């Protein structure tokens, strides 16, 4: 009876007492709620959230916060925010760190877990060390997945160059996850003027027809496709630029010319992956 196509979300909600850190299939949009996802692996999300709660000691067994200490507090798994007071203030500080971690702006919670893993290993508690290793892996997966989701949602214009041999390169033009054009180009160093003109013209022709398109809902397949493209762009096999829509205006072609020229010069010098987003 389970739906294998359902997405999983992380929600930090608000209520009259304290923010909650929850996992859900239905991220109902309420004022003040913060949502991350969609994620395709619920088990990975559950492992990551469990690790965050356990490492930070916010694994409360009394989620209603009725101003009484829960059982997990006696087990050392809860700082006691369920009873209010200073622990509730500390809890809100921890939730702020969780938000920063999921947003990719502060990895201090992850560093804390790595330290806990190291300490457990030094004490020969390899079972605990392995548990934290799995928690850390799950959290890193979520952070990476969030970047992929953001990449898919941006639906950017991307121009990619990849070498096929010493005299041939491949030009790929993508709109988000869609391939708009792919072709092979011959080049003869050091004169790249003609090649630059061909690439610039191809970019203008392909992306001008895609201007001002309304955003579309992100599907499971689009996330999977975005994962492939995102990994490809971050590999060492290609160089690329993100083409801004204002570059495609007839009155400002110089910015596109400059970006294409710089991309070509880096590409022809066989440098590792570079991206340009002026």
pLDDT in tens, the chain (278 residues): 455 557 889 999 876 567 889 898 877 766 668 888 888 889 999 999 999 999 999 998 876 666 778 888 888 899 988 888 888 889 999 999 999 999 989 999 999 999 999 999 999 999 999 999 999 999 999 998 888 888 888 888 999 998 888 788 899 999 888 889 999 988 776 667 888 888 988 998 888 877 666 555 666 667 778 888 888 888 878 888 888 888 887 666 678 888 888 888 778 775 444 444 44
Residue whose structure tokens are 């622990």: 87
Residue whose structure tokens are 């921890």: 94
Strands (DSSP E) contained in the chain are 8-13, 20-24, 34-39, 157-165, 168-175, 178-186, 239-243, 275-276
Helix (H, G, I), strand (E, B) or coil at 209: coil
Identify the pLDDT of residue 194.
84
Identify the pLDDT of residue 273.
44
Angle at 114 between CA 111 and CA 118, to 5 degrees: 140
Identify the pLDDT of residue 214.
57
- Nearest Cα neighbor of 98 from 4, 5, 19 is 19
E strand or H helix that includes residue 210: none
Strand partners, 14: none
**109 CB contacts (<8 Å, ≥6 apart)?**
52, 55, 56, 97, 98, 101
Strand partners, 168: 165, 186
Q: How far apart are CA 154 and CA 151, in angstroms?
A: 5
Q: How far apart are CA 123 and CA 225, in angstroms?
A: 43
- Nearest Cα neighbor of 59 from 74, 43, 39, 42 is 74
Identify the pLDDT of residue 95.
93
Identify the pLDDT of residue 250.
65
Angle at 18 between CA 15 and CA 20, to 5 degrees: 80
């Amino acid at each position: 009876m389970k739906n294998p196509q359902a997405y999983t979300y992380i929600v930090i909600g608000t209520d009259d007492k304290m923010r909650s850190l929850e996992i859900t299939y239905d991220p109902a949009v309420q004022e003040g709620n913060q949502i991350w996802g969609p994620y395709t692996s619920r088990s990975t999300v559950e492992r990551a959230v469990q690790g965050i709660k356990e490492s930070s000691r916010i694994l409360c067994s009394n989620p209603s916060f009725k101003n009484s200490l829960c059982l997990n507090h006696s087990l050392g798994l809860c700082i006691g925010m369920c009873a209010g007071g200073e622990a509730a203030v500390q809890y809100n500080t921890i939730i702020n760190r969780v938000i920063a971690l999921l947003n990719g702006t502060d990895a201090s919670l992850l560093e804390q877990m790595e330290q806990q893993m190291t300490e457990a290993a030094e004490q020969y508690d390899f079972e605990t060390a392995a548990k934290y290793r799995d928690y850390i892996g799950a959290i890193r997966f979520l952070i990476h997945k969030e970047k992929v989701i953001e990449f898919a949602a941006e639906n950017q214009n991307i121009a990619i160059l990849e070498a096929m041999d010493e005299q041939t390169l491949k030009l790929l033009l993508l709109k988000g996850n869609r391939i708009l054009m792919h072709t092979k180009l011959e080049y003869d160093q050091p004169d790249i003027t003609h090649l630059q003109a061909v690439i610039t013209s191809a970019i203008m022709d392909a992306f001008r027809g895609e201007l001002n398109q309304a955003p579309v809902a992100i599907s499971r397949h689009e996330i999977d496709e975005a994962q492939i493209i995102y990994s490809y762009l971050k590999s060492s096999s290609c160089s690329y630029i993100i083409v801004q829509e204002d570059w495609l205006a007839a009155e400002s072609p110089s910015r596109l010319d400059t970006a294409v020229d710089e991309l070509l010069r880096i590409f022809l010098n066989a440098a590792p992956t570079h991206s340009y987003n002026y």
